[in-house]
Structure formats: structure tokens, C-alpha cells
Amino acid sequence: MADPPEKKMLKRIPDGDNMDRLSALPNCVLLRILSRFKTKDAAATSVLSTRWRDLFVSLPDVDLSFRVDGDASDRDRMFSDFTDFANRVVRQRNKASIGTIVVDVMHFVKSYRLAFESLLISAAAALSSCNVQQLLISVRMDKTTERFSIPIPPGIFSSKTLVSLTVDIEVDWNAPDFVWLPNLKYLYLFEFRLVDEDSIQRLLQGCPLLEQLMLFVQPFSYESESEEGIEVEVLHISSPSLKSLVLSWNAKVELEFTVVVQSENLESLLCSLQGQHKVTIDAPNLKSLTVEGHVLEVHINQSLVSIDKAVVHAEFLHNVTNGSDLFSRVQHAFKFISGLQNVKSLNLSENILKALYCSQRVLPKFKDLNKLKLSHFRCHAFPRNPYSKVLSSLFESSPNLEVLIIDEVLKDSEDEELDSVFQEVLSLAFVGQLKEIEIRSFEGEEHEFKLIEYFLKNGKSLKKMGLIRDSWKTESDGCHRILSSKKCAEDCQILFITKWDLLQSLFLQRH
């Protein structure tokens, strides 16, 4: 009989043993532990022993967050203590490298301004002395505070090592005249104030390697304490290295405003606009284009053959003044959509379909279109007959479409005898070519069930039918009805999906 395996003996520590075993760990292990905490919490460990006293100052990342909701009368003192601590953390690095600096302040009030400016100066100094690669500055105003301005230290925009910069400040600010960020690839600017027509271009010229730009614009400068408001009518964005651009307006533009985008390497462009905008795009390698909001005109300076994916939620008919204005706008809308005839994925809203119907022109063939999504439809705002005509024309112009996504299946009449307008315009031949159908915001209405049954009965190529709603727990009868429906394609998979599951899936696809 074999001897029993030797038991491992565990050393018993006497109850009275006060040995500091954590402090015996090497610095690399201790820093790994502390890196899980925000800098303020990591600093609190300094009371554990002299071995830990200044260890937090050597953390590779510095996270300085001020989030206090307490007594307003005590917040000024607490913020002063916070900035004193933050300045100490940054200044005591002794040139040790910092990977990321995060400065995050909530409930910002005007009395914080001077102390916050000193913190920004410390952060700017660290950029050059500590080889910082990422800097994020975020400020959220207290709801009781009126808007005011904060100067950004020039050193924030002058760093040889910075790769990513985010400035998300809910106060008036603008970039300095001189910018030099030779290694910056990712730039995210929120609440950016246009002080003149060249302010963005000066910024981009100082970022020769910039690949991603996210710009949330205040269209005109506000009248501040030291200057008069200045009207800016043109925004010009030109960068040969830029690959991705997100451009969004935070306020409505009352007058006509022109946006010019120029980049030979730009692959993705999203414009979310408010007001009377004209957009000119010169980007021969553009692959993904999204246009949202109010647009007068969209001009593309070259063929759109390169674009694979387009999202058009633009309202070309916003604030039409007269018949001549209407004619001009619908022609621009038709020309723009016609230029997208080589796309593989297209997402359209009701607004663009209104403009297409008003143009009274025949749509070109979208011979490469594989996926079509119809978003934000409200049938009651668009009479049934023209709605049917433009949808029918769109479907007929998509001979190779395989994937159809419908945000909502709404009726355009209170008459119970009238089914969804989709059933009227979906020919048997068109339904027969579809391989995947998705209906979002399913409500369990009778006209929705009829449309689903129509798809299943005639979808001879259908592989998957996805139905999305908030929850399916109370819809067992509806699920049974759908699963019991006659299917032309017996191998068609029917999926009952919650909106939460859909959001998670979309997030994973993007990352």
C-alpha cells in the first residue's frame, strides 16, 4: 500500500504577531495594488507605515477627481484642500513618468476658478517634465452657476509626448494661438468656442500626426468679461493625417453657416448639425458618412465610390421659406442621395424620404446595397400615399438588398382596417430576396403581427428574424403566435431580443 501523500504544513501566525507583511512586498506589487484606487484613495494608504508614505506619488497614472455633493458652504474649503493635494501630487513626481492624468471636477462654481487655474498650470508643467501620454480634463458646472470663462494654460497645447488629449469643460474656453503637439493622435474637444474662422485650423496645424478628432462646437464666441462676441460663418477643417472626424453643434445656428472638411486620408465622418448649414466634403477615401440635423446642402467634391456605409438623418427641409427655396433644397437632397448609389449599408430617416418624394425624380439603382435601416419614422406626419410611393421606389431600387431593419412599425391611420404602410409597399419579389429582418421597438400591436406573418409567409430566403422590445416576460402569447406562424423558409431562426441585449451587442461590435 502506497504511503499517503505528504501533507503541506501551514505556518500558524501567533495572534499577537503585529508584523507588517504588506510593507515587505516589492514596490512593483504595491504600486499594482494602489493603481486600482483613485489617487486620493491611494494617498490615504500613507498612514499604514513609513514604507507607504510617499509611494502613491510614484503611481503611473494620476486620477484627480472632485465629486462633492455636500453642504455648499463647506465646498470651497474642500475644493481648496483638493487642489492643494492635487498640486502636491503632480509637483512631487520629480520627473517620474506619468502615463495618464485625469482632472475631473463636478458641481463647479465660479469661486473655484483661481484654484482650478493653478491646478491646470501644474498639469501643464507635468506634460513636459513627466512625459505624459494622455490628459483628460473634465468640468461639470453646478446648476446654480452662470456660464463664465477659464483660460487654458498654453502648456496644455504644447507637449512632445502627449498622444491623447480630452478637454471637456462646461465653461467658455479656447485654444491658444500657438499649438505644438507633434505626437498627438487623438483629440477630443467639447464646448469648443470659435473665436475666429482660423481657430480650428491653427489647432490642427500643430498636430501633424492627428488621426481622430471629436469636436463639439459653440458656433459663435460668447460675450465674455474681456471681449465682444464675434460672428463666425465658416468652419474649415483640413488635415492630411486625419482618419476619423466627429463634428457636432451644441447650439442652434440662426444664420447660414458653412462647414468645409478636407482630408485625403479621412475614412469616417459624422456631422451632427443644428441650424442653416452648408457642408462641403473633400475626402476621396471616405468609407463611412453620417449626416444628422439641419442641412441646407451637402456637396461632395469627388465621387462617392469609396463610401461603404452612410447614415442620413438630415432634415433638408428645415425652415423652408418659399417654393423656390423648397425646389432648391429637394434637388440638393436628391443629388446627395444619388451620389450614395455605391454604398453597401444605408440608414435613412423619414426626413430625407420627404425630400426625395418632393423632388419627384426617379431614384438610381443601389446595386451594391446589402443592408437598409429605416429610422425615426412617424407615419402620421407623412401622408400614406407619398410615403408608400417613396418607399416602394426605394425598395425597387435595391435589387440586391438582403438585410432590412425597421425601427418601428407604425400605422398612419386610426382606421383599424388599414395595416402598416410597409406591408403595402413590400412586393413578394422583394421580400423573397431578404435574408435577415429586424424590427425594433416591437409593441405587440395587431398590425405588427400581420407584417411579421407576411414576412415569414413569403420570405423564401429568410435566415433570421429579430424582434426587439424592452422585455418579453409578459409577451408569451405573442411569442407563441409568431412561432406558430407559417414559414416559407423552414430553417428561419426567430429571435426575441431585449433592447438591453441589443445595446450590448452593438457595443461589442464597435469595440
Residue 322 has pLDDT above 80, yes or no: yes
Higher pLDDT: 132 or 35? It is 132
- The sign of the dihedral angle between the CA atoms of 21, 25, 31, 35 is negative
Which run of H or of E encompasses 500? helix 499-510
Looking at residue 43, its pLDDT comes to 64
Grid cell digits, residue 399: 435589387
Which pLDDT does position 18 carry in this prediction?
60
* Whole-number Å distance between alpha carbons of 442 and 409: 8
The span from the CA of 451 to the CA of 444, in Å, is 11
What pLDDT is stored for residue 31 in this prediction? 64
Fill in the amino acid letter for 84. Answer: D
* Percentage of the chain lying above the pLDDT 70 cut: 78
Buried b (16+ CB within 10 A) or exposed e, 324-357: eeeeebbbbbbebbbbbbbbebbbbbbbbbbbbb
* pLDDT tens sequence across 339-348: 898 999 999 9
d(CA 367, CA 360): 21
pLDDT, position 262: 92
Question: Residue 293: left (phi > 0), alpha (psi -120 to 50), or beta?
Answer: left
373-423 pLDDT, tens digit per residue, is 998 655 445 555 677 888 889 999 999 999 999 988 766 555 444 456 677
In this predicted model, what pLDDT tens digit does every residue of 15-49 receive, in sequence order? 555 656 666 666 666 666 666 666 666 666 665 66
Q: What is residue 389's predicted lDDT score, i.e. its pLDDT?
A: 84
- pLDDT higher than threshold 50 for residue 162: yes
Question: What is the chain's length?
Answer: 511
177 to each of 182, 198, 220, 222, how far by Cα in Å?
16, 10, 17, 18
Higher pLDDT, 228 or 286: 286
Residues forming beta bridges with residue 108, ordered by sequence position: 141
Range of lowest pLDDT (214-218, 228-232, 487-491): 228-232
Residues in a beta bridge with 22: none
Q: Tell me the pairing of strands 186-193 and 345-349.
A: unpaired
Question: Any idea which of 18-22, 217-221, 227-231, 237-241 has the lowest mean pLDDT?
Answer: 227-231
Inter-residue contact 245 to 213 (CB < 8 Å): yes
Mean pLDDT of the chain: 82
Q: What is the pLDDT of residue 222?
A: 43
Is the pLDDT at 353 greater than 90? The verdict is no
Task: Tell me the C-alpha distance between 101 and 400, whole Å.
Answer: 50
How high is the pLDDT of residue 51?
Answer: 61
> How far is it, in rounded angstroms, from Cα 444 to Cα 446?
7
Name the more confident of 207 and 410.
Answer: 207
Mean of the pLDDT values across residues 118-129? Answer: 90
**What is the pTM assigned to this prediction?**
0.83
In 3D space, the residue among 446, 444, 409, 445 whose CA is nearest the CA of residue 426 turns out to be 409
Average pLDDT over residues 446-467: 93
Choose the weakest-confidence range: 47-56, 389-398, 499-508.
47-56
Q: Give the model's confidence band at 221: pLDDT under 50 very low, under 70 low, under 90 confident, else very high.
A: very low
- Alpha helices per DSSP H over 322-413: 323-338, 350-359, 384-396
Q: CA–CA separation, 128 vs 95, rounded Å? A: 9
Cross-strand bridge partners of residue 384: none
Q: Which segment of 142-146, 152-156, 367-371 scores lowest on mean pLDDT?
A: 142-146
Select the highest-mean-pLDDT range: 91-100, 222-231, 408-417: 91-100
Residue 8 has what pLDDT? Answer: 46
* pLDDT for position 224: 44
Mean pLDDT: which of 226-235, 311-320, 362-371, 445-454 is highest?
Answer: 362-371
Does residue 152 surpass a pLDDT of 60? yes
